[in-house]
Amino acid sequence: MSDFKLTPCSLGEIKEDIPYKIPSNIKLLGAETFWNKGIYGEGITVAILDTGIDTSHVCLKDRIIGGKNFTNEGKENDFTDWNGHGTHVAGIIAGNRVEKGITGVAPECNLLIIKVLDRFGDGAFPNIVKGLEYAIEQNVDIINMSLGGRADDDSLHEVIKKATDKGICICCASGNNGDGSADTDEINFPGNYHEVIEVGAVDRDNSIAKFSNTNPEIDIVSYGVNIMSTYKNNRYATTSGTSQATPHVSGALALIKEDFVKTYGRKPTESELWARLVKCTNFLNDIDTKAQGNGVLYLGNGCE
């Protein structure tokens, strides 16, 4: 039995080809406010711990700077995505604006691909820990983890604290076990660790998605319903889940960090980056904080 699985999500329409577009969720996010300043995530590395990536996808292939496979599926240097989930997450973060394709939140950031889940979406504690250690060794800026498990684990918690102590922001999906009520708590790890940024999902009307977990550790929510992004075999797919909300936050952090570096001539601390991120939220009135945390992510005010 696996310790970790992909947070269950619904796969919708799959397309072989699309004309270039900025997905509606990216527009609603307000990322263009940063793009208009020439901030696209350049020089920022996001590590994606997931099912791998379609290494030849037209929207992603020039964003990948390397990676490693920690599963039993293939060789160590083969991080091919046989599931599609990791490729979908990657496109939300860094889709690169090609003529027939999409843009992600931070289309010029670097992606380090760390395969910790197999084609069935299954993974184990030791492999997740090794993947995080590898990300730390590679001096990444941000880690995206759209995965979860019900069990706590000391070794996982310790390596997460090690990463944040080194200034790395970790974004984790809250999970898709929600019942539509903030009166009950649904707990997944590593999302429930205080050191990470736990992300829930909203739809395009900024209503909390019924499937989105609620608990006191939710930090922020973003778009996670009917999200179109890249998919395995050089295709595109529409999917819903907190797995899709989380990479919006990771991409936003890449923009915020590049902007900070260009403004102040140094890298921000993890707490400084978190403070900037909180400024990029709109609190949703009449919604419990256990469902929305600090509110819905919005980059349109420049996060000043």
Residues classed as catalytic: 50, 85, 243
Cα–Cα distance, 107 to 157 (Å, whole number): 31
β-strand 4-6 against 122-123: which pairing, if any? antiparallel
223 strand-pairing partners: 202
Going from the C-alpha of 18 to that of each of 52, 98, 101, 199, the distances in angstroms are: 23, 11, 6, 29
251: exposed, middle or buried (C-beta count within 10 Å: 0-12, 13-18, 19+)? buried
Instruction: Report CA torsion sign: 100, 105, 111, 112.
Output: negative
Cα–Cα distance, 212 to 234 (Å, whole number): 29
Cα–Cα distance, 92 to 8 (Å, whole number): 18
